[in-house]
DNA sequence: CGACCGATCGTCT
DNA sequence: GACGATCGGTCGA
């Protein structure tokens, strides 16, 4: 087990990072309660030139400020007034790249995850959908800006190998407003 | 099944 | 004052 370090997050190619995050382990540890899952779906948001990104055109607001931090921070924001979406900030400071985690396969703490979701049985042992991933792992907007090099939220690799043929690239979800950028194959799905 | 719709509120204009 | 990087329930076939 090897926690991903600053050298992983601060690279320039956010699309490559999004692809490499498939198969890695995402862990949260709040109040001694550990939950984790293997990342099964990601989306890359490619900085100021990406019309789908909150930081498109260099937009800089209170909400998006975290995206301009050095790679290795968590960017969590509220969507539709209900859902807390968890992103990994990448690249160096002032290059606002991020990877949205859209699905994980539950590994540790399934009982706690079910409790957070208010459910008894979880289909496919999968947290599918970015809002549900955050809810199940206990991540909220309060965690935005948290360092992934710390112990509350982090990502590690455990030697689980994913053949590149088992990673499918597709356009991103829910970003029709992004015009031509809506078609970019920046979404990666683990072939189950 | 798939299509549709309502919930709900912080953020930006 | 409008609108989401969504979700889950309901309705009809």
Give the pLDDT confidence of A11-70 residue by residue, as tens digits: 999 999 999 999 999 999 999 999 999 999 999 999 999 999 999 999 999 999 999 999
What are the two backbone dihedrals, phi and then psi, of residue A81, each rounded to the nearest 5 degrees?
Answer: 70, 0
Model-wide pTM > 0.85: yes
Q: Is the CB of A117 under 7 A from strand C?
A: yes
| pLDDT band with cut points at 50, 70 and 90 for residue A154 | very high
| pLDDT at residue A73 greater than cutoff 80 | yes
- Asked if the Cβ of residue A190 lies within 7 A of any atom of strand C, the reply is no
Compute the half-sphere exposure of residue A70: CA atoms within 13 Å on the CB side of its CA.
8
Question: What's the CA–C1' distance between A26 and C12, in Å?
Answer: 40
Instruction: Please answer whether residues A114 and A44 qualify as being in contact, where contact means their C-beta atoms are separated by less than 8 angstroms.
Output: no
pLDDT, mean of residues A88-93: 98
**Does the CB of A82 fall within 7 Å of any strand C atom?**
yes
A45 contacts A124 by C-beta, under 8 angstroms: no
At A121 the pLDDT is 86
Closest CA to A95 of A54, A51, A46, A149: A46
In the beta sheet, which residues pair with residue A187? A43, A170
User: CA of A159 vs C1' of B8, distance in Å?
Assistant: 41
Query: What pLDDT sits at residue A133?
Result: 98
Q: Is the per-residue pLDDT at A84 higher than 90?
A: yes
> How much is the mean pLDDT over chain A?
96
A132-143 confidence digits (pLDDT tens): 999 999 999 999
A161: pLDDT strictly greater than 80: yes
Q: Which of residues 56-75 of A touch strand B (CB under 7 A)?
A: 59, 61-64
Which nucleotide is nearest, taking the CA of residue A99 and each C1'? Answer: C5
Query: Does the nearest atom of strand B lie within 7 Å of A3's Cβ?
Result: no
Q: How far is the CA of A12 from the C1' of B13 (A)?
A: 32
- The answer for residues whose C-beta is within 8 angstroms of residue A35's C-beta and 6 or more apart is A27, A28, A106, A108, A109, A112, A113, A136, A137, A138
Give the per-residue pLDDT at A124: 85
Measure, in angstroms, how far nucleotide C3 C1' is from residue A80 CA: 9
- What phi and psi values does residue A189 have, to the nearest 5 degrees? -125, 135
If pLDDT is split at 50, 70 and 90, which confidence band does A192 have?
confident
Contact in structure between A19 and A188 (CB atoms under 8 Å): yes
């Amino acid at each position: 087990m090897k926690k991903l370090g600053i050298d992983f997050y601060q690279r320039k190619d956010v699309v490559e990072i999004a692809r490499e995050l498939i198969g890695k382990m995402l862990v949260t540890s709040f109040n001694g309660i550990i939950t984790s899952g293997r990342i099964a779906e990601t989306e890359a948001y490619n900085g100021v030139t990406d019309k789908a990104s909150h930081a498109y055109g260099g937009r800089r607001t209170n909400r998006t400020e975290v995206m301009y931090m050095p790679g290795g921070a968590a960017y969590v924001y509220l969507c539709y007034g209900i859902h807390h979406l968890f992103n990994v900030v990448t690249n160096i400071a002032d290059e606002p790249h991020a990877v949205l985690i859209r699905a994980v396969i539950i590994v540790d703490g399934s009982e706690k995850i079910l409790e957070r979701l208010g459910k008894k049985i979880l289909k496919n042992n999968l947290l599918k959908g970015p809002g549900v991933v955050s809810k199940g792992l206990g991540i909220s907007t309060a965690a935005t800006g948290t360092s992934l090099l710390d112990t509350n939220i982090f990502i590690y690799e455990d030697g689980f190998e994913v053949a590149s043929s088992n990673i499918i690239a597709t356009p991103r979800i829910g970003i029709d407003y992004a015009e031509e950028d809506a078609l970019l194959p920046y979404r990666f799905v683990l072939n189950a």
